[in-house]
Amino acid sequence: MSAAAPAVRGATAGLMRSGEIPGRHQQGFTYLALMFAVALAGAVLAATGIVWSQASQREKEVELLFIGNQFRLAIALYYQRTPGAVKRYPEKIENLIEDQRYLSTQRYLRKFYADPMTGKAQWGLVMAPEGGVMGVYSLSAGKPIKSAGFAQAENAAGFAKAASYAEWRFAYAPPIPVQGISQPSGLPVPQPGTAGSGRPG
């Protein structure tokens, strides 16, 4: 037997007595690296999910603003085209799809839009003091991301300070005459055929 054999046995015995096993440190490092990689991947996925969710919400906000203004323009058309001198709001929102005050049915909305925030074809109604529906609003209690850059009518309605989408009220108020001068109500005067026009790109 060579002299090296006792030396090898002595080294092995020393490792066993000290409780050290070859490769344990390498395994521990690999485990820690794996845990770090998993944690990092989870953080990246979470951040990506938040970004995607906000992007989706912003798209729905754009759609809500478009649809809400379609309802507002349709109500304005219904009101302004009331036969006779006394103007009236629609008694129900469905009248915007089918106005039977004329010999031929008039339509001020291309279709009855669903609320993009809730996914349901159900809206809150803004009732006029004299009766009828003067506006609509979303039934969503979600908090808007958009807080600036609104159109004139939306700024006048306080959209920038809204705490929920339900506070975005898309209502039409007719121009208020002051000393014989018709003052704008913040809403462009709709022309025939404009309600239900194509969506902005």
Q: What is the pLDDT of residues 88-111, one digit of tens each?
A: 999 999 999 999 898 888 999 989
C-alpha to C-alpha distances, 186 to 52, 62, 74, 152, nearest whole angstrom: 34, 19, 15, 6
Lowest mean pLDDT among 136-140, 150-154, 164-168: 150-154
Distance of CA 41 to the CA centre of its chain: 28
Comparing CA positions, the residue from 166, 186, 162, 164 lying closest to residue 174 is 186
Statement: the pTM of the whole predicted model exceeds 0.75 = no
The average confidence (pLDDT) of the chain is 79
List, for residues 16-47, the tens digit of each pLDDT value: 555 555 556 666 667 677 776 776 666 666 65
Q: What is the mean pLDDT of residues 109-128?
A: 95
Three-state secondary structure string covering 102-151: CCCCECCCCCCCCCCCCCCCCCEEEECCCCCEEEEECCCCCCCCCCCCCC
Residue type, 199: R
83/96 Cα distance (integer angstroms): 15
